[in-house]
Amino acid sequence: MNQVNNNMAKDINILLIDDSDVDNFINKAIISKEDNISQITTMTSGHEALAHLNSIIDNTEAYPDVIFLDIKMPRMNGFEFLDEYVKLPDTLTDQCKIYILSSSIDTLDSEKGKDYPVVSKHLIKPLAHHIIGDLLSED
């Protein structure tokens, strides 16, 4: 059991946004091994994720605490998602951490992610189990 997570006050609601069902499956399996995870929702597009977030906009308890976001997606890439996400009410976006989770090792993608204050960090796929506890306990 991860001692850091034992000290957390509430269970964590996770949203995975990735166009790859395989990546979502693997990441969900890795994350679900952590303590204090109340829910893991997967979405396969930025449009779908925005629709979901807008549908729960009045329910702060259902709003995710953490979003893992792929940036290389068709139709709406991760940066386009972020452009729309920042338009949501601050009361919601302030309670959520976004981690870019991408196979891209392009430094331009990492630098572009820094242009969005809502992005906490750029992670390279695959998601590693040993860093999940550290990420979920960051302030």
Q: Sign of dihedral through CA atoms 23, 114, 116, 65? A: positive
pLDDT of residue 3: 38
pLDDT one-digit tens code per residue, 73-85: 999 999 999 999 9
* 115 pLDDT more than 90: no
CATH class of 3-137: alpha beta
Give the amino acid at 89. P
Banded pLDDT at 22 (limits 50, 70, 90): very high
* 139 pLDDT more than 60: no
Banded pLDDT at 8 (limits 50, 70, 90): very low
The residue written with tokens 């329910």 in the block is 59
Residue 28's alpha-carbon distances to 5, 42, 56, 92, 112, in angstroms, are 18, 8, 21, 23, 26
| Ranges of each domain in the chain | 3-137
Percent of the chain scoring above 90 in pLDDT: 52
pLDDT one-digit tens code per residue, 95-111: 899 999 988 777 777 77
pLDDT of residue 7: 41
